[in-house]
Structure 1
Amino acid sequence: MAPVVWHVPVTVTGSTTALRLFRLRDGRRCAVGFATTEALTALLGPEQACTELAEPALRALAAPLGVDALVLDPRLVAPPVARPAREGAASTPAGPTGPTAAAVRTELQHR
C-alpha cells in the first residue's frame, strides 16, 4: 500500500523552503497537513506555498524542532474578529487607545 501524501504548508525564502508550524490552543507548536490542495487553499489562502510529504516524513522533519503534534485537515476554530462599532463614533476606524508608541518607548527608556 502506498503511503498517504499530505499537502504541507511551507515558507519559501529564496532557495530555502521551511516547514510552516502552527500553534494548538494550549500554545504547543504543531505541524499540519491537508488531504487536498483545495483544503489548504480554503484555510490558508491561495498564496500559501505547499509541498507534498508522507506522514512519516512530516513527523521526521518536525521532531528535531521539538514538535510532536500533527494536525491533519485542520479547520478554522474561530471566526474573524471584527472591531465593534462605538456609539456616536465617526465612520472611520478607531485608532488604538491609551498612550502612543512614542510615549511608551520614552517611558521604557527612563526605567
Structure 2
Amino acid sequence: MASVWHVPVTTSGTRGTTALRLFRLRDGRRCAVGFSSPEALAALLGPEQASAEIGEPALRDLTAPLGVDALVLDPRLVAPPVAGPAAPPAPAPTAQLQHR
C-alpha cells in the first residue's frame, strides 16, 4: 500500500483555499480517494486536476470528522448503471376545442 497518497483537491477564492475533493461510492456513501502516483491521478481525473500529497493516517484523520470512513486507493472510473432502452417521448398534448 502506498505510504503517500496523491489526493485530488480544489482551490478556490482569492486566498487560495485548498479543500479535499470527496467522491461517492455506488451506494451513495461519501469517500476520499487517493492515487499511488501523480500519473495515476492524471489518467483518471485529467492532467489539470490539482492534488496534494498526504499519508493515509492523516487522510483518515482529516475525513473522520466529516463522517467519511471509506478510502479508495487507485479507483477506476465506474459509470452509473444504465437503465434499459429509453421509452419514446410522450406525444405533446393537444388542445381540444369545444363547440357551444
Q: TM-score, normalised by structure 2?
A: 0.74
Give the equivalent residue in structure 1 for 2:5: 6
Offset, 1:11: 0.6
Give the equivalent residue in structure 2 for 1:39: 40
Q: Deviations over 1:38-64 (max 9, x none)?
A: 000000001110000000011111111
The runs of 5 or more residues in structure 1 that have no matched partner are 82-96, 99-111
Question: Percent identity, aligned pairs only?
Answer: 79
Give the equivalent residue in structure 2 for 1:74: 75
Give the equivalent residue in structure 2 for 1:92: none
The runs of 5 or more residues in structure 2 that have no matched partner are 83-88, 91-100
- Aligned partners of 2:75, 2:53: CA distance in 1, in Å? 16
The structure richer in helix per residue is 1
Give the partner amino acid of 2:42. Answer: T
Give the partner amino acid of 1:44. Answer: L
Offset, 1:78: 2.9
Choose 1 or 2 for highest CA Rg: 2
Question: 3-state SS of the aligned residue for 1:9?
Answer: strand
Q: TM-score, normalised by structure 1?
A: 0.67
Question: 3-state SS of the aligned residue for 2:58?
Answer: helix
Runs of 4+ that moved beyond 4 A? none
Offset, 1:77: 1.9
Give the paired residue count: 81
Give the equivalent residue in structure 1 for 2:27: 26
Give the equivalent residue in structure 2 for 1:108: none
